[in-house]
Structure 1
Amino acid sequence: MSAPRSGSRPSRRAGLADRLGRPPRGILLLGLAGTVLMFIGAPGGGGIPVRDPILGNSALSFWRYGHGQILASLVVYTGLALMVWAWVRLGREVLARRAGGRAVLTVSGIWALPMLITPPLFTRDPYSYLAQGALPLAGFDPYLFGPDAMGGIFTDNVHFFWQDTPAPYGPLFILLAQGIVLLVGQNVLVGVIAMRLALLTGVALLIAVLPALTRRLGGRPAVALWIAVANPVMIVHMVGGVHNDLLVVGLIPLAALLALQDRPGWAVAVGSLAMAVKASAGLILPFLVLIWAARLTGGFFSRLVRAGVPSVAMFLVVFGGCTWVSGFGLGWLPALSAPSMIVNWLSWSTGAGQAAAGLVGIVVDEVNEQAFVDTFRAIGGGVLAVLIAALWWKAREGGTVAIRNAAIAMALAAVLAPTTLPWYLSWGFCLLAMTAWSARGMQWVVFGSVWLMIVYFPNGETALYVWPFLLLCAVAGVLAAVSLLRPDPLGLRRGRPPGAPDDRVAGSGDRSGVRGTTAVIDGVRDRG
């Protein structure tokens, strides 16, 4: 009787491995080591609370100050480097079709586990969220008052820049934040974790709809998961940073899938919920109307009216319902200008204004940089409006073209808006990830993701004007991108025998080493 038992153990292990997609163990452990290091460094180098009830009065309090904080930040960066390295290696496996969607999802989930209970990383936004949820409970309208009107422990932890700024978020998110504060009371640490867990429902929605939507948009689920879920920007910036964009990246793809499944009313309802979190998500709504109109008969404008009227009615019911339940009306719309107080060159229009001011400053003694920034922001807004209108018109036949164009419109909105923050690009890329990608395109994703990871320091302060640091990190981004297709780009392992497994990165199902890689670079699309 012992033989069957001994034989059943490998069988059970094999069955579990199959269910998990047989994830590459070395890559999984490498990335996990990275996120564990970030978890260790975050209580000192991250966006830590002003008063830490756990470390604050302990022998480990040195981790929060002076040389200890510097060391903690180095630990965070070491962990980030390991995770990026693991992510690039996972990308090679995906390109070579040695790792499927289930493996990528398993790896992503395990990498993300330490992020669930860390202090915020690369931001202090969740403290603002909690304060905005506490304002209504203290009798203040969050669309009229900033956290400093309330005072208290939540306000103490809000970044000084946002102390007197009303909430720029929709009524659905304010209701969510209010519910979390009711649940956790004055416990800031538990509040951050509870906020993170609540926002992760968006990631769950993204994962649930991704296979079906990816098939419709022509991509590969494994590639889409690698770009949208395993990405360090998702795991570290958005999950570790606790950004409310996590809800948006789940609701937008769900709305897109419902529209393509011929459930346009539900699609508009879900899109309206996304807009009730962040106004930028509303960009998908006009494109959803086009998909609805394309399924009707008659002339274009007739179909547009017959789809538009019920769409507007659905929007008013859903969005208006969220607004009515919140009890604060549309006061958040004027507050949408709050992020424009941030002036950084990640926004193309703002960067152009700063560059123009710098050039003029070469020949003129006194230059009003803000005037240049305001002018170019206005130009950028006009260009954005024209581009969105053109994308909408080109998508008038509906279908998947409308979804792709909506994704491009949201990506353009992220970079042409007066202010761009790294996680804003998730609005469009939660859909673009599901389209067909070439290996060259995936290299650009690697470079862009590494770049977006480092433009803020782990404590949430900007690094955008620390030029030597940015140059060093840009070099690291290029190296990571090249490494996706060249496992040894610096030629450090010349002694390895030709054809060693680690030196072969195939694409589009081709496992013939360099030939396969070259074919993909030349434009072969990863479909299937």
Structure 2
Amino acid sequence: MPPTAPLERAPDLSADGDRPPGERAPTSLPVRTVGLGLLGALLLLTGSLGAGGTLTHDPVLGSGPLSVLRYGHGLTAATALVYTGFGLLVWAWVRLGRGVLAHLVDARGVLLAAAAWIAPLLVAPPLFSRDVYSYLGQGLLALHGMDPYGVGPGELTGPIPENVHPTWQNTPAPYGPLFIGIAKGVLLLAGHELITGIVLMRLMLLAGLLLLVCVLPGLVRHLGGSLPVALWLSVASPMTVIHLVGGPHNDMLMIGLLAAGALLALEGRPAAGVVLVSLAMAIKATAGVALPFLVWIWAARLEGPLWRRFARAVLPALALFAAVFGACVLAAKVGFGWLPALSAPGLIVNYLSLPTGLGQALHILVDLVVDAHPVPFVEFGRSVGSVALAGLIAWQWWRARDGGPDAVRRAAIVLCAAALLSPTVLPWYLTWSVALACALPWTRRGLSWVVGATVVLVVAYYPDGEEAMDNFPLMALGLAAALLAAESLVRFDPLGLRGEPAAEQRFLPAERAGAR
């Protein structure tokens, strides 16, 4: 959850006399760190040609010298390249975070690093997910006049449907009408070129990340955080580089609109904020949980008793939401069938979801005594999670009634809870709350927890998009790497391999006595 205590300013290392021997002067562009992450991204690109979510019949990789990466020892080598690239990217991200916390790297340096790391993946095959094929398949259904909320891409034939994951072949689209319209537009531009369609989809979704970059300075100003830290958390993170861009995932567009809407509300333009968050909800329904918090921000700017102010804010907010959402439905030429289709992700059962994990744990315990079917236990856990989430949303919403930045902070808490307590949790769901929470003040230890969680969440899936959570040796290795990465952010050389003198620890962005 978003932290509450601010970072204490790290020592100023700008004076030569305070710098350890051999250390170079501070720079806004950490060239070696950027280069390390870029190498990792290039390895991810190369490995994805064989180990990623490649096409069933690939016109580029199906024949020729690169085809060796798709089979046998070549596939093993490609997989090794992906994980090596991921490791280097995490290493670079942690190094960049140290520079940010030591005030040696500014916002410009973080953005340049993120751009360098993202660029190679714009043309890579899908990584750690095959969702983009489902996006295109659902757009193709709408383009052919079929209801993507009634049938799945399996109703069609051709290269797009044949690349959709079997789980989603006959599953209706769980996305909002605006996104279905965007998918239709991508297909109109790409025609029958599937690779072009993937790249265009990435570029369209990248607009959300660019929007987030533009609004973060304003959010940081209102929420009291640090801009370099916010950019490091939300833009340069391996979760963004690998999942949101490498995936790619439509969450990237949703969080940009969500953050922009929150900023407009804080800037005294709540109506415009409601419009943008409504558009975010027309991409993915989850953004809708933030709308009630914007109503409090709107109401706080009015005069009179609480409930009168609330009524004067909620009525126009509802009217704006209905108008925006209705316009998206008409423009995309789809119906409202997406509401029942929202349950589609529930087909995935994994223990990243706290309620689902609870149900699975109960089943394991009971199954030790009697033979029991897992479904009732999973459903019980999910029911408990739904009740807990509803209660948490109501509590946080009521406590946000004073509006202002606190309402945005509580919206971030609710978005985090919506990800963790939903029936199914996919790694990139945690980016929902980070889009807002990154602009809050963070403790060093809080940031280290984010680093550890990021590593575990990426490792939870294989590079080709299949679930890896039942591969317990891999998950154990990922957990060990996560703990090491988390500790490396706040403690130089946590394994003690370099034997640095304790006196030099004070020059590093680690936790010190009395520091937060």
TM-score (norm 2): 0.93
CA contact (8 A) 1:238 1:246 kept: yes
- 1:75-106 deviations in Å (ceiling 9; x for gaps): 00000000100100111101111111111111
Structure 2: which 5+ runs fail to align? 1-26
Percentage identity across paired residues of the two chains: 50
Match of 1:67 in 2: 73
Identify which of 425, 431, 436 aligns with 2:436. 431
Aligned to 1:81: 87
SS of aligned partner of 2:299: helix
Q: How many residues align?
A: 490
Moved more, 484-493 or 404-413: 484-493
Q: What amino acid does structure 1 have at the position aligned with 2:465? A: G
1:395 partnered with 2:390? no
The one-letter code of the counterpart of 1:139 is G
1:112 aligns with 2:118: yes
Question: Does residue 1:285 correspond to 2:291, yes or no?
Answer: yes
What amino acid does structure 2 have at the position aligned with 1:30?
A: L
Superposition deviation, residue 414 in structure 1 = 0.5
Distance 1:473 1:308, change over 3 A: same
- Aligned match of 1:454: 459
Is 1:222 equivalent to 2:228 in the alignment? yes
> Which amino acid in the other structure matches residue 383 of structure 1?
A
Q: Equivalent residues in 2 for 1:31-180 (5 A)? A: 31-180=37-186
Whether the aligned pair in 2 keeps the contact of 1:293 and 1:398 (CA below 8 Å) is yes
Secondary structure in 2 matching 1:464: coil
SS in 2 for 1:22: coil
CA distance in 2, matches of 1:497, 1:426: 38
Partner-residue secondary structure (3-state), 2:342: helix
CA RMSD of aligned residues (A): 1.2
8 Å Cα contact 2:28-2:104 kept in structure 1: no
Match of 1:329 in 2: 335
**Displacement of 1:492:** 1.2
Gaps of 5+ in 1: 1-20, 508-513, 524-528
* Native 8 Å contact 2:492 2:508 kept in 1: no
Task: After superposing the two structures, state which structure 1 stretch, 484-493 or 162-171, moved more.
Answer: 484-493
Matched residues in 2 for 1:519 and 1:88: separation?
22
- Matched position secondary structure for 1:487: coil
Does residue 486 (structure 1) correspond to residue 491 (structure 2)? The answer is: yes
> Of 372, 375, 379, which residue of structure 2 is paired with 1:370?
375
Deviation at 1:504, TM superposition (A): 5.0
Structure 2: which amino acid aligns with 1:459? D
Q: Which residue of 1 aligns with 2:7?
A: none
One-letter code aligned to 2:305: G
Q: Structure 2 vs 1, CA of residues 505 and 393 (structure 1 numbering), >3 Å: closer, same or farther?
A: farther
Task: Report Cα offsets for 1:370-392 as digits up to 9, x if no partner.
Answer: 11111111111011000000000
1:487 deviates by 2.2
Report if the CA contact (8 A) 1:138-1:150 is conserved: no
Structure 1 residues 117 and 504, CA, compared in 2 at 3 Å: closer, same or farther?
A: farther
Are the equivalent residues in 1 in contact too, given 2:254–2:284 (CA < 8 A)?
Answer: yes
Structure 1 position 498, deviation (Å): 6.2
**Contact 2:142–2:334, Cα closer than 8 Å, also in 1:** no
Letter in 2 for 1:355: A
2:15 maps to none
- Report the TM-score, using the length of structure 1 for normalisation: 0.91
Instruction: Letter of the 1:396 partner, please give it.
Output: R
Matched residue of 1:131: which SS?
helix
Instruction: After TM superposition, give the deviation of residue 485 of structure 1 in Å.
Output: 1.9
Show the counterpart of 2:3: none
Q: Which has the higher contact order (CA 8 A, sep 6+)?
A: 2
User: C-alpha displacement at 1:212, in angstroms?
Assistant: 1.1
Counterpart CA distance in 2 for 1:287 and 1:485 is 34
What is the rounded CA distance, in whole Å, between the counterparts of 2:508 and 2:271 in structure 1? 43
Moved over 6 A (4+): none
Alignment match of 1:240 (pick from 240, 246, 271): 246
1:227-248 Cα deviation digits (max 9, x unpaired): 1111000011110111000011
